[in-house]
Homo-oligomer: A and B are copies of this chain.
Amino acid sequence: MNEELRNKLEYAHRILHMEGLAEDASRGHITARSEDGRVYIKPWGVGFEDVTAQEFQGLDLDMNLLEGEGRVHSELHLHVEIYRRRPEVHSIAHVHPFYSILLSSVFKGKIHVLSQHGVHFAGKIPFHQSAELVTSKKLGEKLARILGDRPVVVMKNHGITVVGKSIEEAVILSMHFEKAAKDHLLATTFGKPSGIPVAMAKKLSVNNYNPAQVKMMWDYYCKKFDRKES
């Protein structure tokens, strides 16, 4: 079922791996919610660079396994509790990117928006202040509450969780947040950085993530991956 979503979800894992957001064995997971309300996730122990479209497990929001097999990631709670509260969200990426994690260790609730990569993250950013894995319904609920209606939550000494209206958006926002975190951290070692004001950032964000732009960026990364493999 949901073949198109499965294919797209495979590309999502390949792209985040190619771009260095899931480089080693502590990899995280990307999920997608289908039109018929199922959540798809890769089985535990399968890498971002290995998982294939047909392997994704399909579950309902109560984590009953309806499609696929294998051990289920214990952090699936993180995903279902967000899907429950955010009907417009159709994809969630939970990853442990290098600069995002360093940011989380010195985080004060905001980043300097220093380039186009940060415009979607202007203003206050939710912060989950524990490194504990999100392996229970209760912890999933807590994370979902902290996230609220925002696109990303920074998880202290752990990583990030990024949500999108589509797989494409969740993947692109994940990459952009990691780039924005790197910009922010390095710039602070170079001086007192001056960023894009919140009002202009919001205006640029509307333009940068309109459907045509998101499709253009997604196609770019799919093509880059295909070229690398050939």
Contacts and interface: CB of A to CB of B under 8 A. Distances in A.
Interface of A: 24-26, 45, 47, 49-50, 96, 101-103, 105-106, 112-117, 131-133, 156-158, 175, 179, 183, 185-196, 200, 204, 207, 216-217, 220-221, 223-224, 227
A210 B115 CA distance: 34
A227 B50 CA distance: 10
B47 A220 contact: yes
A133 B196 CA distance: 12
Contact of A188 (B24, B132, B190): B190
A200 B105 contact: no
Minimum-distance CB pairs A-B, first 8: A106-B191, A105-B193, A25-B217, A25-B220, A105-B114, A131-B196, A185-B190, A101-B115
Nearest to A116: B26
B25 A132 contact: no
A70 B220 CA distance: 17
Contact of A25 (B103, B187, B190, B216): B216
Contact of A157 (B101, B157, B195): B195
Contact of A105 (B116, B133, B179, B194): B194
Contacts of A105: 112, 114, 183, 187, 190-191, 193-195
Nearest to A185: B190
B189 A101 contact: no
Contacts of A216: 25, 45
A191 B204 CA distance: 29
Contacts of A207: 133
A106 B115 CA distance: 12
Contact of A204 (B131, B193, B194): B131
B50 A102 contact: no
